[in-house]
Structure 1
Amino acid sequence: MMNAKLRMEGLHEPSISTAPDRIWEAQHRKEMAKREPTWEEVWCNGWTSHTGTVKKAIFQTGLTDLDKERLKTVKAAIDAGEIGVGVESLRKFTKAHALRLWRELQELRKHTILKDMVDKTPTNYRLIQTEQQLAQLVADLQQETIVAFDTETTGLDVYNDVIVGMSLTLPKADYHVYIPVDHKVGKQLERATVLSRLEPFLSSPYIGKVLHNAKYDIHMLLRHGVRMRGLVHDTRVAMALLNENEPSFALKNLATKYGKYFGFHDTSHTFEDLFGKTRFDDVPFDVALVYAAKDTHLTWKLYLWQREHLNRLSKLDGLYRDLENPLIDVCVDMEQAGFLIDRQYAVIYAEELRQEITKLQQSLHDHFGNLNFNSPIQLAKKFYDELQLPEVNGRSTDVKTLKALCDKHPGIEVLLRYRELSKLLSTYVESLPEKMKSDGRIHGSFNQVATVTGRFSSNEPNLQNLPTKARKLIVAPTGKLLVGSDFSQIEPRVLAHISGDHHLQEPYLNGQDLYSTLASRVFKVPIEDCGDGSKYRKMMKVGLLAILYGTSMYTLSEQLGIEVDEAQAFIQDVFRTYPRVHSFIKDTHEFVKENEYVETLYGRKRRFPGHRQKAKVYDRTVDEICRLLGVDELPVDFWQNKAIPRELKNQLRDVKRDVESARRQSVNAIIQGTAADIMKRAMLNLHQYCVKKGWALCGTVHDEALIIVDASISAQEVAELEQCMTSAAQLDVPLKVDTDLMTRWGEGISKKEWFISAA
């Protein structure tokens, strides 16, 4: 009885003894809730909220160099009393708020900045307003061998906006000019007059031109009937080769970051900073002069600085001179050519899609009731709460998740189809005709340096993402054909060349199917069982590229529909069968660890700053874990192994993602980057051939070139087009091109079938 009593009393002791503590904690929380972080804590040191949440200081968060400079400006302005903090409590003073204050500060400072710019206009900045001044400029231009050039316009639409002024830097004469031609107020020369006087200079291939984002200015000159020739340097494109990791390639941002190396130590304000939504033809001449003349002045200085670096990097310099610079004119011509849209087909197809979508909506209502099928919240509630479907990816309703749930409910497949057609209708079939210009074509934009590997990208529209069904809206003009010439297996061929793996080269040299041959060797089954459509060939095609680019065994198991240990065995089998491929990948990982960059066959660099230290920590930690476990490589389930100290796991976790990402990207940069370089070399050949024939290279999608040709094209001419591509590189294995001819994109016929039917 006594023991029971003691036990009962013991149960009450903790609550009695901790009551004061609880009271103190409650009071402490109240005090903490009222506590304001200090100014230094907000900016530099960080602080802890009353809930125990650690708040990072603004300067402790991830910042671009540009944001860091802007935030420093804001802090200094507040410290100086120029502006207030703008919030009632410093607890609400966030990075986003500080950046908003920066924009407000620019508005406050704008008048002062503009006045200061005008007051400090260099004496060699000249405004050209008279015939006499223009005549002197033209005379001075004749003494120059290379100049910087830029246009000022009413907007960014190269097919509808107009030039309102032009600026030039004349290095020998040592002055910089702005020529207004269409401002709303002020004495100025007519645009036609100025262009007619400058046209011989602009179109001369013998006077070099330096521009920043030259493609835009070339388009704008074409808008007014002048074709610029003699482009020797585009500072934007060159910067992407010198540092593909730049957060911004805008001229003013580059000048602000690097200007101290070539004589510009102050902040170079962007157009938006200074003028907001004001059009340049509304800008007064004194401001326009200092802004526009500085553009070419900066471009020239940036060019000289870039030249110093390129002169020391001969391979990269050759890549720029021989490939990227001449490609700018190719991009201009592709964009000018555009794609013809079949508007009537678009109307008919859109109506067909709407009818099918309506039927799918009715079917979805039958399956799931009255829902908004575009609402993830409503779908998640229906799937996971009401229907009790297994939760995947945190109650996600994205496409990947829905595909995983397809066998759990018959309505899921209907929903996937509904989403596919809805996107096809709204994003492509309805919107593409709206992008047409007055000539009935869409004129997209091709960017040769938008990706870190050097592959082309495009927008307005994004041809890379254009579904096959949407491609059918694009047709050949009357009397013309669309030709699509596509490199066959360009990346595996590059891998075969770079790795030097004879087993990988053998199928290409013997005219055999690569994936069937690989599958037969890896799975150890007769090649007859690995033909087109076989499961072995399909697995090999997916698996090879996945392994090449460092896909984990977990992801590979999902892609191939096999268990994780089977995926691991598959990877090991491939590496065992193709040891030189494995060596190439390992050697690349070691090289990037020591040098923090890799490069393509043609010298394009992909840089990984900071990787060396992280990789060394990663390797050291992995070695230590393997030593503890007595194994040669990390087991699949090592995270769950309690024999591994938590400290080691945390150490690995801190760097694992970054290191493995850099390793994947390094191999990808070499293979995909080299393939991209080869494609670009092929495009130069194709462009030259098309100009000679009077045809038009109109686009590129991945490894395919799209060309508008005469409907009477011969088999010999198709062979010559293919030769333009296959001669772009000399590898240890032959390059191969597959060509389709078509009147409507996506409905191609192989060249063999085309010419048989034509006969």
Structure 2
Amino acid sequence: MKKILLVDGNGLLYRAFHSSSYSQMKTSQGIPTNAVFTFINMLMNFINKGEYHNTVVLLDKGKQTFRHDKLESYKAGRKETPDDLKPQFAIVREFLKSSNIDHFEMSNYEADDLIGSLATKYCKDFKIEIFSNDKDMYQLVNENTCVIKQKNKETIIVDEKYLMEEMKLTPSQIIHYKGLCGDGSDNIKGVEGVGDKKATELLNEYGTIENIYANIENIKGKLNEKLIAGKESAFLSKDVATIKCDIEIPEYKNNEFNLDQDGLKSFLEKFEMKTLLKKYSFNEYTKLVIEPVTKIELNHQEIESWTSKYAQDENYIYLETLNDNYHDSPMIGVGIVNNTGGYFLDLEKAKNKEINIFNWQEGSFTIDENFQGFLLNSKFKTYDIKKTIYVLNKLGYKTKNENFIYDAMIAGYVLDANIKPNIFALNEKFTTNEIKNTEDVFGKGVKRSTMIEQSVKAEYMIECANVIRESENEIISLLKDKDQLMLYENIDLPFCFVLLEMEQNGVKIDKKELLIQTKATEEKIKNIESQIFAITDKVIGEKFNPGSPKQVSELLFNKLGLPNTSKGSTGKEALDVLYNAHEIVPLILQHRKYSKLYSTYLVGFEKYIEDDNRVRSIFNQTLTNTGRLSSSYPNLQNISVRDADQRQFRKIFVTDDNKIFMSFDYSQIELRVLAEVANEETLLNIFAKDGDIHTEAAKMIFNTKEVSSDQRRIAKIFNFGILYGLSDFGLAKDLNISIPEAKQFIKNYYNTFSDIQSFKIGTLEEANAEGYVKMVSNRRRYIAELSSSNRMIKSFGERAAINAPIQGVAADILKVAMNEIFAKKLNIKFVGQIHDEVILELHENDFDEISKIVKLTMEEAFATLFAKLNINKKPKVKVEVKGSRGKTWFDLK
């Protein structure tokens, strides 16, 4: 029996928009096209199967339908259509018309009604598949009709069996179910107080709403009362939820589908969808052929040992561990794809059979010599080089950095830092392949396990390796188009090898010092708690938990009657306002501070100390959208140097014997980058003369030769606040002055540094027009918030747009500096990178010589960045680096 595909066009377009809004895709004329692009991609995946007699897209026409006549509040309260989505409805219609894809809409009806009518009319002679995530469609299911929905890239077939297993309902009961429990998305009320579970129980017993009310006397208690009170709403809700299935669509002839390839090609060219033009090749047949790269046969071979017959000069390799902390996680295995096929090597025992490529015996691995030779004599393209090499090395396999020539994770990140750092997101962005999310394969949280069907595991790992292969051409082409290939090849790719060494080195921990600080903090917490309990015993006379926001709120605002100016909030900002209102408030703040120090740092770090007394953090290169690093397992970036107690914690980080730490920190690097990118001559001159930027700024703002400490403090707030969206309201709050005074201060500042104001205006104009900010390093930050109709969200986007070209370039300077130091092969160890600071470990006798080399390299890094990217100029701003030395991180200034 032939098949017809009926598509919920509006539903698909909305899903396409929300899954791709971060991309800010627009034509050169500024027309948003992200939703249309994704819509086409998703629809063509079905069309290209060649399974359908015809494909029909059904659309809504206007907001008012016959349902509003029955229920005035129908769909009331829905969010306004996003501004960037509104023009894309017309573009989708143009796509459908250009491609000769049947599409219909009718006044007074929804797409659901048109789908229902076509499905009912043709289901006797055709298999009907309805592509929609709308549960309303479930009422249309029958032996020849099913609904196809997608969840996390997984395709789910909703048929009669599925409905009975998942919902315990038949298709005909769906409208009765809606009548009872309503539908919040459509503002259908149902019966108040009757939820999903109770509605299902009632229908399992009575079958229909009519039968429920015919037997109302048999239903007792509160449920009886609710049903009687909601009877009118129940029948109305059921009526409104019912899809009409008798609408005639005379224009639809049910002809066999015939794609207009010339029309589709012209449409893609008009709307500058180069990726789709490259992805689709057009021929004399009606079927669209997707050929991103030369196809190979993926045999999904599960092999027990490696032999030379599998090897090729160039290989795509994907390595996966069970948990995100790959420093301490079981390994799932390795997927390898090359011109001979696809292969899977497993670590785990499955079906009582040990797969011997990494044979685990009494806590150590037996090295497979053939695989070892393969690693040393072949080239590899992978996803996350750092992770891949780290895990292989930990298993005892030797690798060569130069053999790993491509990293899809880093390349994708350079293109768009908003792409989530996982293979699933990369696949969704750059290929038409369908792979499962890792959580769908191995489970989530505590249920995550490698003990699954071996064939499922093998297929997943090989398909992941193939994603690297099939996305490569597209990614490299886009890097070239956007002039970002050198950024990837010369900055970000080599940087992963620096981070690899830093992770492998780790940093030594003084366990005795850690124990001393842990016990001292425990005593502080106990002392604070005794003072808190002395107060609460008198006030409430019952057990009190100072770590519970709910109990703290109850105590402060209800029992003690303190001013509740923050709607019950007990966050730090709210409690700071109440600091002097009662003696218990400072105690609660101290308790939080020391509890966090204890749990996050002191006890929190213990589990990460390895047998050699070193902690090895993971440094995340592709997690932030600013270009900066973050770290995890444990987080070393979060240790404050301003807080005295957290600063004490730095004493636990120590060197090996006869060695010292050497730290170099960029001085005011973001202000220096601001001076450069804004071409602010006044700032450039201050830095050129090694002046105190805050003092000199204060002189100009206040028109004085002698600067007070308060004036310098205000200038400092300005200098750094300008990077983070300083407002007159925020300044007034920080300085405890009126808003008019704050406005005058800001005016004076911009009169003094007028090029900064021009830079901000120009940056925002470009960002709003393009949807992204482009930095001098050619890095881009896409900012979806700029298109938001919500003022607060848009303001956040504007602040991010101003900050991005400054913070991003500062991060690039540091990357270049570390790359250059690493390339010099000095007798040092990278052990940490915190914000603008690099921490190295070296022999004390080498300090004088090496410190000079490192300092000069870092000071030249801005100019080196320009040279690496073929930018034909030198930066004007002078870069300053400050260094220090010590036996612990605490000693570093």
- TM-score normalised over the length of structure 1: 0.74
Aligned position for 1:667? 802
Tell me by how many angstroms 1:409 deviates.
2.7
Letter matched to residue 667 of structure 1: I
Tell me by how many angstroms 1:711 deviates.
2.5
Relative distance call for 1:510 and 1:274 in structure 2 (3 A) is closer
1:513 to 668, 692, 706: 692
Tell me by how many angstroms 1:129 deviates.
3.9
Query: What are the residue-to-residue correspondences of 1:535-574 with 2, within 5 Å?
Result: 535-574=710-749
Moved more, 180-189 or 723-732: 180-189
1:529 to 688, 691, 707: 707
Distance in 1 of aligned mates of 2:160 and 2:728: 54
- CA shift digits 1:263-298 (9 cap, x unpaired): x2xx31133313435644x45554444332222112
Structure 1 position 328 matched with structure 2 position 506: no
- CA shift digits 1:678-730 (9 cap, x unpaired): 111111123234xx233211121110111111122333321212112111113
Letter matched to residue 892 of structure 2: G
**What secondary structure does 1:494 align onto?**
helix
CA contact (8 A) 1:429 1:473 kept: no
1:343 to 501, 511, 514: 511
Aligned position for 2:436? 269
Relative distance call for 1:559 and 1:195 in structure 2 (3 A) is farther
CA RMSD of aligned residues (A): 3.6
Aligned position for 1:294? 463
CA contact (8 A) 1:48 1:55 kept: no
2:335 to 167, 173, 176: 167
**What secondary structure does 1:500 align onto?**
coil
1:213 to 384, 403, 413: 384
Letter matched to residue 177 of structure 1: Y
Aligned position for 1:23? none
**What secondary structure does 2:611 align onto?**
coil
Relative distance call for 1:744 and 1:268 in structure 2 (3 A) is same
Distance in 1 of aligned mates of 2:72 and 2:567: 26
Structure 1 position 713 matched with structure 2 position 846: yes
- CA shift digits 1:627-678 (9 cap, x unpaired): xxxxxxxxxxxxxxxxxxxxxxxxxxx4422332222111100011110111
CA contact (8 A) 1:543 1:560 kept: no
Relative distance call for 1:387 and 1:290 in structure 2 (3 A) is closer
Q: What 5-or-longer segments of structure 1 have no aligned partner? A: 1-39, 99-120, 615-653, 750-759
CA contact (8 A) 2:322 2:448 kept: no
Letter matched to residue 438 of structure 2: F
Distance in 2 of aligned mates of 1:232 and 1:72: 29
Distance in 2 of aligned mates of 1:363 and 1:193: 59
Relative distance call for 1:712 and 1:48 in structure 2 (3 A) is farther
**What secondary structure does 1:603 align onto?**
coil
CA contact (8 A) 1:468 1:746 kept: yes
Tell me by how many angstroms 1:603 deviates.
0.8
Aligned position for 1:726? 859
Moved more, 556-565 or 327-336: 556-565
2:528 to 340, 360, 363: 360
1:77 to 140, 149, 158: 158
CA contact (8 A) 2:817 2:857 kept: yes
Distance in 2 of aligned mates of 1:464 and 1:238: 24
Distance in 2 of aligned mates of 1:333 and 1:456: 15
Distance in 1 of aligned mates of 2:793 and 2:475: 30
1:411 to 565, 584, 590: 584
Structure 1 position 179 matched with structure 2 position 354: no
Distance in 2 of aligned mates of 1:321 and 1:507: 35
Tell me by how many angstroms 1:128 deviates.
6.2
Distance in 1 of aligned mates of 2:133 and 2:578: 44
- CA shift digits 1:531-550 (9 cap, x unpaired): xxx11112211222212322
2:671 to 487, 492, 504: 492
CA contact (8 A) 1:253 1:268 kept: no
Distance in 1 of aligned mates of 2:153 and 2:608: 42
Query: What are the residue-to-residue correspondences of 1:677-692 with 2, within 5 Å?
Result: 677-689=812-824, 692=825
Aligned position for 1:308? 477
CA contact (8 A) 2:680 2:753 kept: yes
- TM-score normalised over the length of structure 2: 0.64
Query: What are the residue-to-residue correspondences of 1:128-139 with 2, within 5 Å?
Result: 129=303, 134-138=307-311
Tell me by how many angstroms 1:514 deviates.
0.6
**What secondary structure does 1:406 align onto?**
coil
Distance in 1 of aligned mates of 2:69 and 2:653: 58
Aligned position for 1:742? 886
- CA shift digits 1:505-562 (9 cap, x unpaired): 1111111111110011102222x434xxx11112211222212322222122222332
Tell me by how many angstroms 1:73 deviates.
7.0
Letter matched to residue 271 of structure 1: T
Structure 1 position 318 matched with structure 2 position 493: no
Tell me by how many angstroms 1:379 deviates.
2.5
Moved more, 459-468 or 505-514: 459-468
**What secondary structure does 1:529 align onto?**
coil
Aligned position for 1:642? none
Relative distance call for 1:406 and 1:49 in structure 2 (3 A) is farther
2:393 to 180, 197, 222: 222
Aligned position for 2:649? 470
Distance in 2 of aligned mates of 1:227 and 1:322: 21
CA contact (8 A) 2:785 2:794 kept: no
Relative distance call for 1:342 and 1:354 in structure 2 (3 A) is same
Letter matched to residue 712 of structure 1: N
Letter matched to residue 454 of structure 1: G
CA contact (8 A) 1:357 1:422 kept: yes
Q: What 5-or-longer segments of structure 2 have no aligned partner? A: 1-59, 84-131, 135-148, 170-175, 186-194, 197-294, 359-364, 539-543, 640-645, 864-874
Distance in 2 of aligned mates of 1:567 and 1:66: 51
Tell me by how many angstroms 1:736 deviates.
0.8
Aligned position for 2:277? none
CA contact (8 A) 1:47 1:56 kept: no
CA contact (8 A) 1:154 1:279 kept: yes
Aligned position for 1:112? none
Moved more, 598-607 or 45-54: 45-54
CA contact (8 A) 2:786 2:798 kept: no
**What secondary structure does 1:713 align onto?**
helix
Structure 1 position 385 matched with structure 2 position 558: yes
CA contact (8 A) 1:210 1:303 kept: no
Distance in 2 of aligned mates of 1:256 and 1:698: 36
Relative distance call for 1:318 and 1:529 in structure 2 (3 A) is same
Structure 1 position 607 matched with structure 2 position 782: yes
CA contact (8 A) 1:380 1:395 kept: yes
Tell me by how many angstroms 1:426 deviates.
1.8
2:832 to 668, 682, 699: 699
Distance in 1 of aligned mates of 2:302 and 2:569: 62
Relative distance call for 1:285 and 1:382 in structure 2 (3 A) is closer
Relative distance call for 1:152 and 1:710 in structure 2 (3 A) is same
Aligned position for 2:422? 250
Relative distance call for 1:50 and 1:354 in structure 2 (3 A) is farther
Distance in 2 of aligned mates of 1:66 and 1:330: 45
CA contact (8 A) 1:181 1:194 kept: no
Aligned position for 1:627? none
CA contact (8 A) 2:152 2:437 kept: no
Aligned position for 1:399? 572
CA contact (8 A) 1:319 1:602 kept: yes
Aligned position for 2:48? none
CA contact (8 A) 1:125 1:290 kept: no
Distance in 2 of aligned mates of 1:51 and 1:470: 63
More helix by share: 1
CA contact (8 A) 2:518 2:603 kept: yes
**What secondary structure does 1:125 align onto?**
coil
Distance in 2 of aligned mates of 1:506 and 1:66: 60
CA contact (8 A) 1:557 1:566 kept: yes
**What secondary structure does 1:481 align onto?**
strand
Relative distance call for 1:182 and 1:374 in structure 2 (3 A) is closer
Query: What are the residue-to-residue correspondences of 1:229-244 with 2, within 5 Å?
Result: 229=401, 230-244=403-417
